[in-house]
Structure 1
């Protein structure tokens, strides 16, 4: 139950953040807005680190494989693409497409056992669930 609640909160925060970031971008620029998002996130992380644990930052040097350290780089491009999609499609359509893309890519990662994830078995019901989500997007977009 805790995992479901956290996932719902995460989805809600992502939608709100996307709207905020899009509005900031309209008043500044794409890369200024994205830079601010990443910088302010860094400040929050430093504050949380100071008050909660203070694990050794040097432990990052022992992370293997090294490509796992690209999460922040990917995060910058997530911010940019969310801003651009929300600006072009609006928050609801953008969020639906983002979620379906996340589902499809996550399922492919799971099926192929990519990036150290335990390989999962193919299940038609999961494919059907994604197809229903895609049909939902088509219905939602239908004018």
Structure 2
């Protein structure tokens, strides 16, 4: 149950953050805004780490394979693409497409067992669910 609650909070925060970041971009530039987002996230993470964990910060470099350390690089491009999509499509349409994309890519990662994730079997009901979600986006976008 806690996982559902945390996921709902995550989705809400992503939507709010996208709107905030889009507005910051209007008064600066895309990469200045993205830099601020990543910098303020770094400061927040370091503050929480300092008060909650205090484990060796360098342990992150013990991860294997090393390409897993690219999450921050991917995060910078996530910030960029969210700002661009919200600016072009508006928050609701952008978030719907972002969520559909997340769902499809996450399911493909599970199906093929990519990045060390346990391989899952193909389930038609999950494909049907994705098709219904995509149809919902089409209906929502329909003018």
User: Residue in 2 aligned with 1:78?
Assistant: 78
User: Residue in 2 aligned with 1:20?
Assistant: 20
User: Residue in 2 aligned with 1:87?
Assistant: 87
Cα displacement string for residues 20-58 of structure 1 (whole angstroms, at most 9, x for unaligned residues): 000000110000000000000000001001100111022
Looking at structure 1, the residues matched to 130 and 116 of structure 2 have their Cα atoms a distance apart, in angstroms, of: 23
Deviates more, 1:69-78 or 1:49-58: 49-58
Moved over 2 A (4+): none
User: Residue in 2 aligned with 1:49?
Assistant: 49
Instruction: Find the residue that maps to 1:120 and give its secondary structure.
Output: coil
The TM-score with structure 1 as length reference comes to: 0.99
User: Residue in 2 aligned with 1:11?
Assistant: 11
Looking at structure 2, the residues matched to 72 and 55 of structure 1 have their Cα atoms a distance apart, in angstroms, of: 20
The TM-score with structure 2 as length reference comes to: 0.99
Measured after TM superposition, the shift of residue 61 of structure 1 is: 2.3
CA RMSD of aligned residues (A): 0.5
User: Residue in 2 aligned with 1:105?
Assistant: 105
Looking at structure 2, the residues matched to 69 and 119 of structure 1 have their Cα atoms a distance apart, in angstroms, of: 22
Cα displacement string for residues 82-132 of structure 1 (whole angstroms, at most 9, x for unaligned residues): 000000000000000000000000000000000000000100000000000
User: Residue in 2 aligned with 1:33?
Assistant: 33
User: Residue in 1 aligned with 2:142?
Assistant: 142
5+ long unaligned stretches in structure 1: none
The size of the alignment, in residue pairs, is 143
Measured after TM superposition, the shift of residue 60 of structure 1 is: 2.0
